[in-house]
Every structure is written in C-alpha cells, then in structure tokens.
C-alpha cells in the first residue's frame, strides 16, 4: 500500500525558487518546430498568424494535412502532436479532466505502460471550502484518501508528475512551471487556455482526447479560424485585464468564439503582465474559443525568469528572433475586433451567464431596473482566473486603505490563493495579513467555491447575489442554490464592493460613510507584477519529482466495492456486424431539451464530484437541471411506452433496461461550459447514440464523438420543435458517409407517436478518423484495436 498522504498543512518559508529549474522537458523543440514551419510555408505561401505558426508547426505531416489548395481554417482536419498533457483530479476531463479519474481509468484500459509525452496530475477539485485552509485541506484529504491514493499510485506506475492536494490549482501551476512560448499542450479542463498567457496554444479537451496525446496517437482538431483582437491605448485607474475579457465576452457572447482561436496583437499587448494575459486567455473559454494566445513579450520573459525558467526564456528569445513567436506582417484574420484600452472601464458580468456585460458606471441602474435588492451576500476572490501575485497585491492595497479608515468588509470575504507558491509568497510579503486584518477568510490552494466545492450554510434556498473574480456563473454552480446570482468582476472591484455590501456601489466615484461622519473613498489600486524578493515555493512536499521514471511494480488498487472508483467497461458498437449497411438502430427520443444546457446541466459538479471516478453512481445526475421543452419542467422525462413520467435519469435507466437505444433533441450551444467528459460518458452509459442539436459547443461535440455518440446539426433550426419524446429516429445516408462518398449527408427519418413519418436534413462534422471511433463504439475501442 502507498503511504498515507499528509493530513495537515505545514506553513513554511522555504528558500527562494532556484534561478534555473531543470527545463529539459518544458522547453519546446524550437529548431524542429521552425523547420516544420518552413515546410508549411512552402505549402501555404502566405503570411501566417501566430496561432497558425504554433498550431501548424505541430502537424505530424504538413503535406497530408494542408495540401490540396482548399481552405484550411474552419475546414481542414489536422493531425497534431501535442507536447504536454495536464489533468485535474475531478476530471479526465472536468473540464475535461473533469474526470481525471475516469480518464486515468481510460488510459489504463488502453493497456499502455507509460505516457508518450510529459504529463501531470493536479489534485485541486476535491477540496471543499468550509472554514479555512488548514482544516479544509485536512478534512478533504481524509474524505478523498481513496481517490488521491489511486491517482498517486497511477502517477507512479506510469511516470506522471503528481501534484498533491494543497499544491494549487492546475492552471496556475501549469503557468508557473510548465507553460512555454510556442508550445502546444492539452489539458482536461476547459480553462486550460490560461497558459496562453505565456504565448502558447493550450487547449481544453476531454479525457479521451488527452488519451490520444498520452498514447502517442495523433490528436485531431479541425483547424480553427483565427479572430484577431487588436489592442490599442493603455489601461487606466481601475481597469484590469479581467475587465478586458469581461468586455469582450459581452461583445462576442458565449458562442462568438466557437471554432476560433483568439489572437491578441497590437501596441496594447506589450504593457500587460504575463499573469494578466493569462486571465484574458483563461476566460476565452467563456466565449467558446478553442484557445487564446499573444505574441512573445518582455513581460513573458521576466515571468519565466522569476519562476525559475531562464533556459526557456533564452530559447524563446532565440526563436522570437527568427520570427516564430509573433504573427507575420500582413497576416490576415477571419475577423478583427478593435479595443481601445484607454476607454475600458471596470465591467460586471451576470447573472447566470458570463456574457451579460455591464460597465460599472451603469451597473447600479441595471440592478434597480431588474428589481433586485441592492445588496450582496458574499465576495470571493482568487480561482484559476485571478489569483496571481499581481492580483493579490492589488487587493491588499485596497485592504490597507480600508484598514487605515478602520473599515472591515460588510459581507463574508473569501480568498483563494492559486498555488502554494503564491500562498507562501503573499504570506511572506504580508499580503495575507493585510486581507485577514479586514475580514478575509483564506481558503486552501484549490478550486473551492469556483467549481461548487463550497459548503455554504447561510444561503441555501433564497435569492441572493454574490460577487466573484471567477470565470463562470451558471445557476447552482457555486453553492448549489439556483437562486444565487453570481456576478463576475475583477478582484479589485469585488474587494472594494465588499466594504460597502451594496451592488450599486461604484468605488471609482462613490464613498463609504464613516462613524465619524466623514466619507471614505478608495484610491485606484496599485499592484506588483512580480515580487521584489522573488517567489518562494512554500511547502516543498507538495511538489513532484521532475520527469519521474515509470514504476511498473506499483499496484493501482481499486476496491471491488468502492463507491468512488469503478473500472470503465468498454462500450459496444451500435452497428450490426452482420449487415453491410452502417446505419444506427432505431432510436427513441428521450426528451427535447429547452434553452441553455451547459455541461453543468448535463453532469452537475459540487457534491457530485466525489463520484467522478464511478460512472454508475455519477450517472444518477444526468440532466437533472435540464428543462424539458414539452411542459417546461426541470428533470422530467416522459416514458411514452408506459404513459408515465419520471426523472430524466430514471427514464434513461428504463430505456437501458429495455435495451432501447435513444436520442436527444437539444437547443443552441449544447454542452457549453466545462470540458466535463462525463457529460458525454453518462448519456452513452445509459444508451444514447445520437444527439440532434441546433448547435454544439466545441469541446462537448468532440467528447460525444469520442464516446461513440453521433452529433448532428439541424440544417433548419426550426426542425427542432418537430420532434418530441417517444418519436423514433432512423438515420438515412450514414452508410454513404462511412463509405466516403462525395457530399454524402445524413437525413433523419422521424416516426411520430401517431404514425406520421417525415424526413429532416442534418449536417455532420465527422472526420474520417472520427467515423472510425463511431464504428468501433468509442475512440478508446479504436485506439485499443490499433495498439494491439
């Protein structure tokens, strides 16, 4: 058995981070990438964007992927070789690895001895916030010991770097330790693009996609379009990088970046800190973007040096001098968005969607118009989006201003450091004490309330508002209360407003009355990008050994009666092996889903995270907050065979018991949000083989394909309302698609309950390789077949 993980925090000030880490495994192979790019240039013969340079230089065979004189961006499927994979404990997706555990189980079931690329596991999603860092971490390690032991043993067996619980949030750790300009990496979390702050392409995927990279299987991606975001001017006063992305989310909406990379350029980029750029890239996920990136800058170089990666900075300097880490002059974008940073003001987004953007000067009016109470119940700062040293020193400046006026926060004020390195450094530099002096509760270095790991007792049911510096604000996400309105803002705006307790408070112009009768007004905050005395690592026992060798003798133990871990059984192919026709069997419609249906709706997080490694148990939450369009009720499905109704999981289980394969009909941007792979695994587990949508979110559509579910798009979105529960759907033309016939398409034959029959046209996005996954029953089945 493995030794028990430590059950108490050790607060310590270790020595300053060494000037140079071992950067062998984290320095991109710039020479070979630049050589590959020269092959690409000969094929395309045009100026390239930065995103294209990085992506296309990782193509396995440029001639095969790019030749043919056809359109590349938005059309061609690329076979790519990523350089790194990062996974989190609740995700082998949960973001994609939101199902880190299922993901590890998938990798193990592929029968491989070690990873083909450097890989890391991060224990950040399972630590619940209750009363403070030390007790929360200790309690969570005890309650999740079985899972952590499993992950640690799997990491040892396959040579994976294991970041223990308490080490920090995956995205902050990747930025501090692994990210490098020009790199291509995958992460099983939708906010993996955070690492784009270091001028790379970091892409959130499902666990099955991560398996591709880990097993050395070519990873396939449809070449994204490239949206240029041209930044001019200079931020002033209270404006921050968080406000830039909140503003952009309002312009693009949650679907505006789908199928695209956001590439920022222009004179406004260079002045931004590396961690500020990471904040912007992080929330690109909220507009559906594949990822975001920026040209290599002086601030990136200084951040690399400050975090012990001088060799990476030196190599990047050389690559930049050869034109690799910036766009070519004359490069064309599919669209260009102009933003003058001098005109940017703090912005507050929400509730219930990250793209409802309101400038702070208008927010008080907005609150009044909506009839909401002019109050909020909690302020929360930190998370993977905003927990940098710059963020923390900026809010500490406000805290010191308030303390001098003898003010404390009017509402609970929770602070989450992004990593043990940040935690130790801000504690040394008296940032933590400045926050605690005015009422802050410092939580463990983990995701906590941002992803629903918040045991909140004061607002279980009633309508209330919270202000956070998080990235996502769907209903029920943070505290399980569907009536909690989460408004997203910068850490400095959240902090300043916490001293007022009013939603209408604008710290740029408003004052707070003091007991003396005087008025207090905040000055614009001032933060520090990098610590003057350097970062310190804190508790070194959290950190893994770099590039560990696989230990095949280590036993990965899963208890037969475990309620937390379950070995995944392969899904079977839906196709009749004895037939020459590759059409799906007749599928009964389970329900028609109305409106916004995120991966949080399909597979809730919060308390359900403990079952991420047990597909049978977690499938009990399938679509439990989705709205049935036939009647408008939440978590209700109709069983037309028995003329009864039940919860959605109940009826899905009935279908499975009857061996009745089924389908879903869904609305626009289905699967928006987290890269949560369980949102694809769970319907497949219960027997779903096809989903008809007005449109899909990128990661979720790929996750469905990986698990052997056919995603189809309505050609005419009005056809959505023509199909109802109990109808039978049959594919026509799927055989032609499998056969590779030119212009082949899939028509869906609909047989209504009253016997009426009609056909509707659809569009598919299946590539040749994705069709192999569908035919095999899942991508994992196909990988296993070719590896064996």
Catalytic residues: 124-125, 189, 472, 674, 676
d(CA 217, CA 59): 13
In angstroms, how far is CA 649 from the centroid of its own chain? 25
Other Cβ atoms closer than 10 A to 580: 6
CA distance 387 to 405: 26
Strand partners, 202: 185
Nearest in space to 255 (alpha carbons), one of 595, 670, 601: 670
Nearest-CA neighbor of 671 among 706, 703, 704, 696?
Answer: 696
Q: Which helix (H) or strand (E) holds 592?
A: strand 587-594
- Return d(Cα 321, Cα 614) in angstroms, integer: 50
Length of the chain in terms of residues written: 788
CA 121 – CA 69 distance, rounded (Å): 41
Distance CA 369, CA 393 (A): 35
Continuous H helices in 265-309: 274-282, 298-306
Q: Kindly write down the DSSP assignment for every residue of 604-671, as one continuous string.
A: --GGGGGGTB-HHHHGGGTTTTPEETTT--BT-EEETTTTEEE-HHHHHHHHHHTT--EEEEE-TTBT
| Nearest partner of 224 among 304, 288, 130, 286, judged by Cα | 288
Burial 31-55 (b: 16+ CB within 10 A, else e): eebbebbebbbebbeeebbbbbbbb
Closest listed residue to residue 186, CA positions, set 155, 159, 217: 217
User: Residue 292: which H helix or E strand, with range?
Assistant: strand 291-293
How many angstroms separate the CA atoms of 333 and 266, rounded? 13
> Sign (positive/negative) of CA torsion 499, 500, 503, 505?
negative
Partners of 758 in beta bridges: 750
Whether residue 34 contacts residue 558, with contact meaning beta carbons closer than 8 Å, is answered with no
Determine which helix (DSSP H) or strand (DSSP E) holds 732, and give its type and residue range.
strand 728-732
CA–CA separation, 271 vs 123, rounded Å?
A: 33
Pairing of strands 119-122, 84-88: parallel
Contact between 354 and 254 under an 8 Å Cβ cutoff? The reply is: yes
Distance separating alpha carbons of residues 374 and 583, to the nearest angstrom: 57
HSE on the CB side for 709, CA within 13 Å?
28
Residue closest to 628 by CA, chosen among 653, 592, 603: 592
Contact 97, 90 (CB under 8 A): yes
> Residues of 670-682 as b/e, b for ≥16 C-beta within 10 angstroms?
bbbbbbbbbbbbb
Burial class (CB in 10 A: 0-12, 13-18, 19+), 577: exposed
Determine the Cα–Cα distance for residues 561 and 354; give it in Å rounded to an integer. Answer: 41
3-state secondary structure of 363: helix
Round to the nearest angstrom and report the end-to-end CA distance of the chain.
Answer: 30
Burial class (CB in 10 A: 0-12, 13-18, 19+), 740: exposed
Give the three-state DSSP class for 433: helix
Residue 788: CB atoms within 10 A of its CB come to 7
Q: What is the Cα–Cα distance from 361 to 376, expressed in whole angstroms?
A: 18
Q: H/E/C letters for each residue in 445-491? A: CCCHHHHCCECCCCCCCCCEEEEECCCCCCCCCCCCCCCEEEEECCH
């Amino acid at each position: 058995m493995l030794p028990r993980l430590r059950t108490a925090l050790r607060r310590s000030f270790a020595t300053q981070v060494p000037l140079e880490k071992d950067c062998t495994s984290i320095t991109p192979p710039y020479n070979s990438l630049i050589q590959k790019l020269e092959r690409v240039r000969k094929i395309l013969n045009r100026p390239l964007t930065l995103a294209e340079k990085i992506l296309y230089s990782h193509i396995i065979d440029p001639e095969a992927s790019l030749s043919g004189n056809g359109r590349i961006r938005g059309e061609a499927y690329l076979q790519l070789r990523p350089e790194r994979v990062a996974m989190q404990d609740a995700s082998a997706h949960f973001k994609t690895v939101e199902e880190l555990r299922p993901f590890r189980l998938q990798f193990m079931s592929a029968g491989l001895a070690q990873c083909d690329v450097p890989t890391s596991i991060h224990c950040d999603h399972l630590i619940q916030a209750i009363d403070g860092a030390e007790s929360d971490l200790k309690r969570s390690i005890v309650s999740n010991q079985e899972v952590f032991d499993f992950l640690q043993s799997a990491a040892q067996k396959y040579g994976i770097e294991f970041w223990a619980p308490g080490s920090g949030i995956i995205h902050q750790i990747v930025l501090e330790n692994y990210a490098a300009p020009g790199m291509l990496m995958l992460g099983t979390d939708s906010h993996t693009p955070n690492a784009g702050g270091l001028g790379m392409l970091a892409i959130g995927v499902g666990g099955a996609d991560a398996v591709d990279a880990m097993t050395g299987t070519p990873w396939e991606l449809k070449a994204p379009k490239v949206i240029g975001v041209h930044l001019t001017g200079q931020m002033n006063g209270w404006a921050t990088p968080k406000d830039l992305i909140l503003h952009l989310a309002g312009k693009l909406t949650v679907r505006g970046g789908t199928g695209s990379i956001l590439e920022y350029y222009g004179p406004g980029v260079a002045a931004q800190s590396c961690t500020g750029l990471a904040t912007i890239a992080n929330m690109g996920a909220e507009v559906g973007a594949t990822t975001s990136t920026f040209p290599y800058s002086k601030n990136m170089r200084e951040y690399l040096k400050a975090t012990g990666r001088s060799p990476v900075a030196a190599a990047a300097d050389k690559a930049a001098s050869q034109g690799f880490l910036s766009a070519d002059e004359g490069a064309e974008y599919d669209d260009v968005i102009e933003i003058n940073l001098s005109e940017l003001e703090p912005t507050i987004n929400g509730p219930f969607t990250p793209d409802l953007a309101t400038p702070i000067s208008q927010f008080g009016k907005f609150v009044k118009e909506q009839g909401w109470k002019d109050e909020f119940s909690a302020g929360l700062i930190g998370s993977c989006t905003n927990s940098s040293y710059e963020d923390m020193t900026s809010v500490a400046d406000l805290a010191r201003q308030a303390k001098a006026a003898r003010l404390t926060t009017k509402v609970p004020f929770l602070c989450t450091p992004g990593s043990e390195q940040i935690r130790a450094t801000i504690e040394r530099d008296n940032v933590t004490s400045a926050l605690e002096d005015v009422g802050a509760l410092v939580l463990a270095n983990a995701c906590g309330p941002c992803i629903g790991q918040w045991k909140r007792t004061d607002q279980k049911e009633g309508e209330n508002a919270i202000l956070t510096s998080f990235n996502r604000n769907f209903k029920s996400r943070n505290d399980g209360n569907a009536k909690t309105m989460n408004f997203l803002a910068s850490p400095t705006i959240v902090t300043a407003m916490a001293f007022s307790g009013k939603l209408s408070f604008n710290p740029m112009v408003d004052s707070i009355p003091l007991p003396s009768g005087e008025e207090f007004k905040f000055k614009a905050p001032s933060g520090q990008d990098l610590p003057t005395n350097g970062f310190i690592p804190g508790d070194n026992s959290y950190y893994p050994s770099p590039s560990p060798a696989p230990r095949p003798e280590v036993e990965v133990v899963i208890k037969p009666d475990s309620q937390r871990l379950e070995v995944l059984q392969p899904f079977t192919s839906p196709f009749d092996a004895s037939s020459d026709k590759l059409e799906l069997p007749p599928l009964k419609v389970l329900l028609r889903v109305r409106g916004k249906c995120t991966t949080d709706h399909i597979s809730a997080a919060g308390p359900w995270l403990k079952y991420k490694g047990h597909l049978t148990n977690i499938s009990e939450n399938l679509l439990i907050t989705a709205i049935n369009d036939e009647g408008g009720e939440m978590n209700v499905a109709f069983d037309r065979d028995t003329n009864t109704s039940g919860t959605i999981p109940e009826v899905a289980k009935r279908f499975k018991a009857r061996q009745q394969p089924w389908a879903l009909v869904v609305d626009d941007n289905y699967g928006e949000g987290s890269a949560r792979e369980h949102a694809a695994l769970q319907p497949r587990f219960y027997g779903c083989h096809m989903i008809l949508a007005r449109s899909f979110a990128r990661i979720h559509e790929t996750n469905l394909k990986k698990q052997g579910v056919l995603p189809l798009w309505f050609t005419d979105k009005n056809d959505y309302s023509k199909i109802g529960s109990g109808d039978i759907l049959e594919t026509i033309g799927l055989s032609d698609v499998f056969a590779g016939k030119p212009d082949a398409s899939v028509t869906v034959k609909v047989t209504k309950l009253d016997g009426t029959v009609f056909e509707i046209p659809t569009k598919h996005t299946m590539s040749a390789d994705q069709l192999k996954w569908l035919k095999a029953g899942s991508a994992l089945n196909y990988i296993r077949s070719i590896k064996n």
